Chains A and B, each alone.
Chain A
Amino acid sequence: RKEVEQDPGPFNVPEGATVAFNCTYSNSASQSFFWYRQDCRKEPKLLMSVYSSGNEDGRFTAQLNRASQYISLLIRDSKLSDSATYLCVVSSGRDKFYFGSGTKLNVKP
């Protein structure tokens, strides 16, 4: 079983839509959680950390459900520039990071 699993998509949504991605992780002892964004042929860049209480950054909301071992990312009012692959990242706390394969988002005009 993979450490981190994501739906690869693609998610094709119109501008202005709200879209949500989930990611499940297998290690219940995982300590840290992140969402990264990767544009085509570019390196991954941190989008946001995910805190136990959930957190919001503008149009982006991340939530953690420890009981069910998943994290989510909600994007409101999608922009064309949000088109990218979104990577779920989980750390066991020993600085070993596990990356999901990513969920591809296409925002259409």
Chain B
Amino acid sequence: GAGVSQSPSNKVTEKGKDVELRCDPISGHTALYWYRQRLGQGLEFLIYFQGNSAPDKSGLPSDRFSAERTGESVSTLTIQRTQQEDSAVYLCASSRGNRGNEQFFGPGTRLTVL
């Protein structure tokens, strides 16, 4: 079946602009995660959605970052007033949401802020 998809695959923007990144999880996966990975660094947790529960936003680095998810489908990550330090690959992952189920990652969106 289809895996996790993300769009766009690459995004170049100017400092101060807003960007919106999209993630389509695997059908039936109730849990969805956003991570950030800077060049040569590990994964940095941003936000987690599980079904209709309130999202875990504990990893969002500032109030310029927000994310939404409608039900158990598409999620969007929005970064307002982008800064150069926002340049990174933004990875989305989904899982079945049952304890211990592994995550499946999308190919990521490579964001470059000039």
Which residues does A use to contact B, with CB under 8 Å? 31-32, 34, 42-46, 49, 87, 89, 91, 93-102
Q: Is the interface of B mostly helix, strand, loop or mixed?
A: strand
Identity of the chain B residue whose Cβ is nearest the Cβ of A100 in the assembled complex:
B42
Contact A93 B100 (CB under 8 A): yes
Known: A32-B99, A44-B43, A87-B42. A95 touches B31 (CB 8 A): yes
A31 to B56, CA, bound (A): 19
Tell me how far the C-beta of A30 lies from the nearest C-beta in chain B, rounded to whole angstroms.
11
**Contacts beyond the supplied A31-B100, A95-B31: 13 A-B pairs with Cβ under 8 Å:** A34-B102, A44-B105, A87-B43, A89-B103, A91-B99, A93-B100, A95-B48, A95-B95, A95-B99, A96-B48, A97-B45, A99-B42, A100-B42
**A43 and B95 within 8 A (CB):** no
Contacts of B105 on A, CB cut-off 8 Å?
A: 43-45
Residue of A nearest to B3 (CB): A43
> How many Å from the CB of B91 to the closest CB on chain A?
6
Please, how many residues of chain B have a CB less than 8 angstroms from a CB on the other chain?
Answer: 22
A-B contact pairs, 28 of them (CB 8 A): A31-B99, A31-B100, A32-B99, A34-B102, A43-B91, A43-B107, A43-B108, A44-B43, A44-B91, A49-B100, A49-B102, A87-B42, A87-B43, A91-B99, A91-B100, A93-B99, A94-B99, A95-B48, A95-B50, A95-B97, A96-B45, A96-B56, A97-B33, A97-B45, A99-B45, A100-B42, A101-B41, A101-B42
